[in-house]
Structures are given as structure tokens and as C-alpha cells.
Amino acid sequence: MRGPAKLLEAARDGWRSHLASMSTRDVTMCDDAAVMAVALEANEVSRDAVRLVTIDPTTDQVAVHAFAALPSLLRAGDLVVVNDAATLPGSLYGRTAAGEDFELRLAAPIEGTRLVGVAFGPGDWRTRTELRGPSPPLPLGSLVRIGSIIAKVRAVEGRRVTLDADEVLDARGVPHEVTSTDAIWQAIYAAGLPVQYAHRAAQLALWTVQTSYAARPWAAEMPSAGRPLTWDVLLAMKRAGIAIASLTHAAGLGSIGDADADRELPWPERYELPERTAAAIAATRVVGGRVIAIGTTVVRALEASGGRAGAGVATLRLDPSYRPEVVDGLVSGLHVPGESHYELLRAFASHARLSRALAVASRAGMSGHELGDTCLIVPRH
């Protein structure tokens, strides 16, 4: 669970009633963003019911729409870029050679037999990430068992753990050396679930955290700004002359349960930008269209790549001082001050304008949950 939901649990109810009694004029006058923002709801919103608050960085205009209005909020000639990474079943429970339980959350794509993730101490998905204890010791070279995988600890740097899945147990419990990665993928999908949210009544199934265009399983958590992009909306954009292109960005974990470590997020993340997407960006520039990123992971990949085709690793940190070179606007979940994603949003709109929009969103009962409502930040010009 990320910031909004965490902050909310303490302060929601009182602020919601207070905000409901305020007039629109009061809200637009209010500049205490931190206070306003904690009143965001923290419920999941079904894909069809997601709303969008529009933020114009050049004016004070803020409006709330159904997400399905997105095609009408953009223009012919604009280009929408999505992250087509599918979400990994990255929450894996394991046991050390000393018999201690831990959870490994994959933080990066699986490469060959190598697994990179964050280890947590015992507990289950109902325990909030920040309350999870540290991992039991994972001595270098020791073996751990995860589902049917026997893996060797290759590196431990802070909370980041690198394992080599060298052996897989068969149905009778006999270990076999891994000769094909087929066995690794089978074992991961058999043992893993997507990273969970502790406040949910039931565990999230893998299909609830996939976008409607997900392809390669590269994402540690869902690139969730694209969750409300149904094919109805995508095809409506296409009919309206809005181009759509994809890239693949290995979205990492949203939280690793430790405030200091969380401040270092996001870690360097792999991306691939196909030729056709680079061509679409160039064509958009020619016609004076705008490049709209669906989600912060797309912003990171587009800015890291400069919009050029190829594979790379995004290391840049996006903050209020960053001047986007490729991205003109974005769709994002609703983020509040204190979250790294909020700092990224400030590269596109000022703190004052974002906080007004958050106030409007909270008055409208919009949700700051990962699987909640969204905002569109795009200049009107």
C-alpha cells in the first residue's frame, strides 16, 4: 500500500466531512495540499468506473470526468504511449536453509535463471508492507527454497537480493538441475501471486492486475495508470485520430517497507522502446501533436530514452526541477505530497495547481488507491 491509503487511515473521516462543507471557492483558495490530499478515498475502483481529474498546468482549470471521456480530452494528432509490461506473479514465499520463512517480491524481470527482488520477514499478505520485519539472514552462497525452486543466494545489497534458480524439484520432490528456463517459469507461475495489498478482503488474482494490452511479464507491480484503458476507450481514441504506441518498462516495486529505502525508489529499471514508437513520436512532433504518457513508468522510459528506439536502463530521477523533453502530458494515479510519484507530477504542474486538483478530487470522493482514480495533466494550448 502506498502513501495515500496509509495516510488516509488516520485522517480520512474527519477531513471528508470538513471538505464536503466547503464551497468550490474555498477549495480553490486552499493551498494546504498535504491536508487536502489525505482526504482522498482509498478504495479500489472498478475499471469501468474510474474517473479522471484534468489538470491544466497553465491555468487553474480543474474538472472531473469519467475516464471514458479521455478521447474527447485529447486532440487528433496527439500520441498516447502505454507501458505494455504484464504484471509478474512476483510475491513468492520461501524458506532459508536454516528453516526460516521469508517472502521474496520480484523487483525486476526474470532473466534466465536469475531472480532479483526484495526479501521480507515472516508474515502473510495481510500484514502491511511497512510492518513486515526484516528478512531472515540470507548468507551468500546459501540455498533457499521458493515453491519448487532451489536457489542460491548470489548477492545481498540492503534489501535487494539476487538469487540464481539452479535447481527445480519434480513432483516427487527430487531436485533436477535447470537445463531449460521452461521449468523456472512454470515454478514461478505455480508459486507466485501478484504483490498484494494488505487491506483487501481477498488476495488479488493475477488477471486483476493486468492491463488490456499486457504482453511480456516485466512489471513488479501493475503499471496501473493504464488499468482503465479498455479497448472501448483505446479504439475510440484511434477513431478520433489519436495515435497509440507502446513501450515496455520494467516497473519496480512501489514500496519496500522501509522509509529510508523507499526514498531511493525507483531503482534503475529496464525498458525497450520499439522503432514504431520512436517513429510515432517523431511523426507527432511533425504535426504539432502532444506526447501523452500513460503512467509514470512511461514518463521514465520516454525521458530516459529521449524518445529514441532501443533498449536501456532508466536511472534518472524525475522531480520538480526536471524539464521533460519528450513527454508533454500524462495520465497518472492520484498521488499526494510525500510520495515520489507526486514529485514526478510536479515536473508537469506546480504544487499549487496539483494541490487544488487534489482538493477537487477529494471533494468528488475520488480514490488515491493504486487501483483507484486518475488524473490527466496536459497543457490546453
Partner 1 sequence: MTDWPGVGIKDVEADMKIQGQGVLITGASRGLGRALAEALAVKGAKLALVARDARPLEDLAATIRARGGTAHAIAADVSVKAAVHEIAGRAHGLVGEIGIAIHNASTLGPTPLRLLLDTECEDLAAVLETNLVGPFRLTKILAGAMALRGGGTIVHVSSDAAIEPYPRWGAYGISKAAQDHLSRILAAELDGTGVRILAVDPGEMDTVMHAAAVPEADRTTLQRPAEVAARIVSMIEDEARATSGARLLAPSWSVP
Residues that bind partner 1 (CB under 8 A): 82, 84, 86, 88-89, 110, 180-182, 185-186, 189-190, 205-207, 210-217, 231, 234-235, 238, 244-246, 274, 276
What is the C-alpha separation between 15 and 183, in angstroms, rounded? Answer: 52
Least distance CB 39 / partner 1 (angstroms):
35
Judged by beta carbon, residue 129 or residue 148, the one nearer partner 1 is 148
Judged by beta carbon, residue 209 or residue 349, the one nearer partner 1 is 209
Name, in order, each residue with C-beta under 8 angstroms of 307's C-beta and a sequence gap of 6 or more.
Answer: 273, 278, 281, 282, 291, 325, 326
Judged by beta carbon, residue 13 or residue 231, the one nearer partner 1 is 231
Judged by beta carbon, residue 126 or residue 216, the one nearer partner 1 is 216
Name, in order, each residue with C-beta under 8 angstroms of 325's C-beta and a sequence gap of 6 or more.
Answer: 303, 306, 307
Least distance CB 217 / partner 1 (angstroms):
5
Least distance CB 251 / partner 1 (angstroms):
15
Strands 310-314 and 269-273: antiparallel
Least distance CB 189 / partner 1 (angstroms):
4
Least distance CB 219 / partner 1 (angstroms):
11
Judged by beta carbon, residue 36 or residue 244, the one nearer partner 1 is 244
Judged by beta carbon, residue 294 or residue 366, the one nearer partner 1 is 294
Q: Cell triple for residue 169?
A: 524439484
Least distance CB 167 / partner 1 (angstroms):
17
What is the C-alpha separation between 119 and 155, in angstroms, rounded? Answer: 12
